[in-house]
Structure 1
Amino acid sequence: MGEHATIRVRLSRRDWDAVLFDLDGVLADTARVHAAAWKALFDEVLRRRAAEMGEPFRPFDLRADYLAFVDGKRREDGVRAFLASRGIVLPEGSEADPEEALTVAALARRKQGLFTAALEREGVEPAPGAVALMRALRRLGMPLAVVSASRNCAAVLAAAGLDGLVDLRVDGQMAAALGLAGKPAPDTFLEAARRLGVPPARAVVFEDALAGVEAGRRGGFGLVVGVDRGGQAEALRRRGADVVVRDLTEVAAEA
């Protein structure tokens, strides 16, 4: 985009009282790290399944399967959704399951380990336009929250150098502690608005995941901005995005 990006969204302090950002794919370029971790996890399961059933191995698709089944969701929900798409139903299991167990709980825990290792190995960069927009909004006195299904939220924000720009974090750890339903339910966004003391109708949501956009719309937020990471603009609009941008360089803050 660069400095010549077309401004598609203008955020004024007169019109809005808070901005709520998803993390992965909106503020930080972690989508590829997440997708690679999911692929490593699921391909192992699918290979085992194919060998046991005498069926051909059909790997996890880094783009189609990632966007359709796991993007923006809690790990456990992503495990269930993708495996169901392949006709596989596993026991829920528990945190006591051994690492190699074929249960939802064990697979979710293994995905966490794969992602953490990749994050430490590769690091993470802020998404284009994220730092400039967040600083501009803070100069206007706009409260900023990050609302993410990720239990790695704090580590990712710190790795990307964004932690000092955020007033509130509602992440996977908080959601689990409070018993909040994951996206596409609006619960986590509504919790963020409640903690900021802002009516949803006066808050803006930025989301790249279809489940997240749906959550923003279901929560009654005043403006839901979809961030299109490639080829999803129409799908984001169908799920409830009021406007779609390619990244945050297309967003400006105004007094």
Structure 2
Amino acid sequence: MTDDGDDRGHPPFEWARHAGVLFDLDGVITPTARIHEHAWGELFSGFDYTERDYLEHIDGKPRYDGVRDFLASRGVTLPEGSPDDAPGDGSVCALGNRKNALFNEVLDRDGIAPYPGSQATLDLLAELGVPAAIVSSSKNAVPVLAAAGLTERFEVVVDGVVAADVGLAGKPAPDGYLLGAERLGVDPAATVVVEDAVSGVAAGARGGFAVTIGVDRGAGRRALLDHGATFVVDDLDELLPADRRTRAT
């Protein structure tokens, strides 16, 4: 595999050579990024919001950081407020809580299914005995995993709830991934990080992990490489043995 951003034909990845795998959730395991994008778009509909805003200011970050950074891009400052604020638009936290309510409405109504290539990768890891964990900025990781039928797949979930409880810095800081490796009982230097956000691949690179795989769901191959991805694929399916691939080649 090359790192010039132009390759497409990847050989099977040697997952068994690594002690564990830490997955982001939204956009890597499940297409929840689409639900998040819909909720953010509705939240900021009065600000000429675009998909590029999601990728540049919000993707991969804790919810309140995303609110704050997007508003800053428009020259808007709001009081921070409190996580207990009712959903609304009077503070950063109120806006974040309103976005979360919108997200859960769509999740409850439409459900979610994992990407087939990601499901096949999880199946392979289980067969190989390679442990996996979720490291997500979202506070909705547990209900998303339940909706996708994946709760039993991950004994370790480091999400936005855990981060708030223990005071972890959000991505691009590597803190969440380092805690995920610790709770999984693996050495970061022998562990794989899988991410679709530039802030996430930056976290993997800063944490000293063996490999940081970028999955390009819209952030752009060059951007993911520039922020620390070891290499980039369009889907984890590309890294599976030929007889396990779920997509036509």
TM-score, normalised to structure 1, is 0.88
Structure 2 letter corresponding to 1:251: L
1:107-149 CA distance string (max 9 Å, x none): 1111110000011111111113111110111111101001001
Contact 2:61/2:171 (<8 A) preserved: yes
For residues 150-170 of structure 1, give each alpha carbon's deviation from its aligned partner in whole angstroms, at most 9, with x where no partner exists: 111011111112222223111
Give the whole-Å Cα distance in 2 for the aligned partners of 1:180 and 1:9: 34
Flag structure 2 segments of 5+ consecutive residues without an equivalent.
1-7, 242-249
Aligned to 1:42: 44
Q: Secondary structure at the match of 1:130?
A: helix
Task: Identify the match of residue 11 of structure 1 among 11, 14, 18.
Answer: 14
- Superposed displacement of residue 231, structure 1: 5.8
Spell out structure 1 runs of 4+ moving beyond 6 A: none
How large is the RMSD of aligned CA atoms in angstroms?
1.5
Q: For each residue in 1:208-241, what CA deviation from the matched residue of structure 2 results, as whole angstroms up to 9, or x when unmatched?
A: 0010000000011110000001360000000000
Is the CA contact 1:228–1:245 (under 8 Å) kept in the aligned structure 2?
yes
Aligned twin of 2:48: 59
Structure 1 gaps of 5+ residues are 48-57
Aligned partner of 2:215: which letter? Answer: V
Which residue does the alignment assign to 2:33?
Answer: 31
Q: How many residues align?
A: 234
Which residue of structure 2 lines up, in the alignment, with residue 120 of structure 1? 108
Alignment of 1:221-232 (within 5 A): 221-230=209-218, 232=220
Contact preservation (8 Å) 2:198, 2:219: no
Residue 198 (structure 1) aligned with residue 186 (structure 2): yes
In 1, the alpha carbon distance for the partners of 2:65 and 2:35 equals 18
Task: Say which is worse superposed, 156-165 or 142-151, in terms of deviation.
Answer: 156-165
Report the Cα distance in structure 1 between the residues aligned to 2:141 and 2:66, rounded to whole angstroms.
17
- Which structure: larger Rg? 1
1:148-187 correspondence runs (5 A)? 148-187=136-175
Asked if structure 1 preserves the Cα contact closer than 8 Å seen for 2:20 and 2:130, the reply is yes
Letter of the aligned partner of 2:37 in structure 1?
A
Q: More deviation in 87-96 or 167-176?
A: 87-96
Q: Distance in 1 between matches of 2:208 and 2:219?
A: 26
> Percent of pairs identical after alignment?
50
Question: What TM-score does the superposition give when structure 2 sets the normalisation length?
Answer: 0.90
Instruction: Return closer, same or farther for 1:41/1:237 CA change in 2, 3 Å cut-off.
Output: same
Deviation at 1:59, TM superposition (A): 1.4
CA contact 1:205–1:224 (8 Å) conserved in 2: yes
Instruction: Please report how far the alpha carbon of residue 8 of structure 1 lies from its aligned counterpart in structure 2 after TM superposition.
Output: 4.4
Q: Distance in 2 between matches of 1:86 and 1:183?
A: 22
